[in-house]
Amino acid sequence: MHNLSLSVMFPAYNEEANIKLAVLKAIEILETITDKFEILIVDDGSLDKTGQIIDALAREDNRIVVIHHAKNRGYGDALWTGINAAKNDWFFYTDADLQFDLNDIQKLIRFIPEYKAVIGYRSPRRDSFMRLLNAKGWNRLVRLLFGLKVRDIDCAFKIFERVMLTGLPLKTRGATMSAEVLIRLQRMGIAWKEVPVSHFPRLFGSPTGAKPAVIVRAFRELFNLYCIGLK
């Protein structure tokens, strides 16, 4: 699909040990897939050398676009920044922590443009028991409140038609955004394809998704969505 117009986005917070390798791997793979791609990196207020590393990468390759948040604003806000900065027809995002095999992007793009959204699910998921337990509870809660039937809501390996995303009236800016996007698409009658993708343990850096502040914000945003009827 060398005519595929693709924006690839990495939200990054304190990923100095992973970000360079993640970006270089992405370039290597994307060059075999399409002639038209860009890589967007949103530095969400990192306190380490993430910003310096990605700035250096951008100076060396004009296909890399870097955006800095002055302070940490949350996963969803970083994602929203990337969505609105993207220029190409399809928007793919994944994490910069090297827990995914970027070669698996080819598993997703084979289903476009038949589907406007193709979402990965980790098979198997290589996280700690507590993170797996939390994820199971979160998925069940979202299904109970909104009827969303998805294997892996927060799997950071998804591709969407970009204009479809930019048209969504998203309310959340924290970790709940992944759920909100899918809930809104489901209510619009948009069909998606679920695809298994490889997942690996994190080797470097620390995850932030299990921090109490992140969890509290996610629950608050979720129940706010429920109270307003997702208007």
Classified as helix, coil or strand, 7 is strand
| 48-52, 121-125, 213-217: segment of lowest average pLDDT | 213-217
Mean pLDDT of 72-83: 95
Kindly tell me if the per-residue pLDDT of 102 is higher than 90.
yes
From the CB of residue 230, how many other CB atoms can be counted at a distance below 10 Å? 15
Torsion sign across C-alpha atoms 9, 176, 187, 193: positive
Tell me what the pLDDT averaged over the chain comes to: 93
CATH of the domain at 61: 3.90.550.10
- Give residue-wise pLDDT tens across range 14-69: 999 999 999 999 999 999 999 999 999 999 999 999 999 999 999 999 999 999 99
| The pLDDT value given to residue 128 | 85
The number of residues in the chain equals: 231
Residue 41, helix vs strand vs coil = strand
Structure tokens at 117: 């959204």
Which 3 state secondary structure label does DSSP give 27?
helix
- CA torsion sign for 57, 60, 66, 68 is positive
Domain total of the chain: 1
Query: What confidence tier does 5 reach under pLDDT thresholds 50, 70, 90?
Result: very high
pLDDT band at 127 (very low <50, low <70, confident <90, very high): confident
Domain that holds residue 186: 5-227
What's the pLDDT tens digit per position in 180-192? Answer: 999 999 999 999 9
Q: What is the pLDDT of residue 2?
A: 65
Ordered alpha helix ranges (H), the chain: 19-30, 50-60, 75-85, 105-109, 129-146, 162-166, 177-187, 212-227
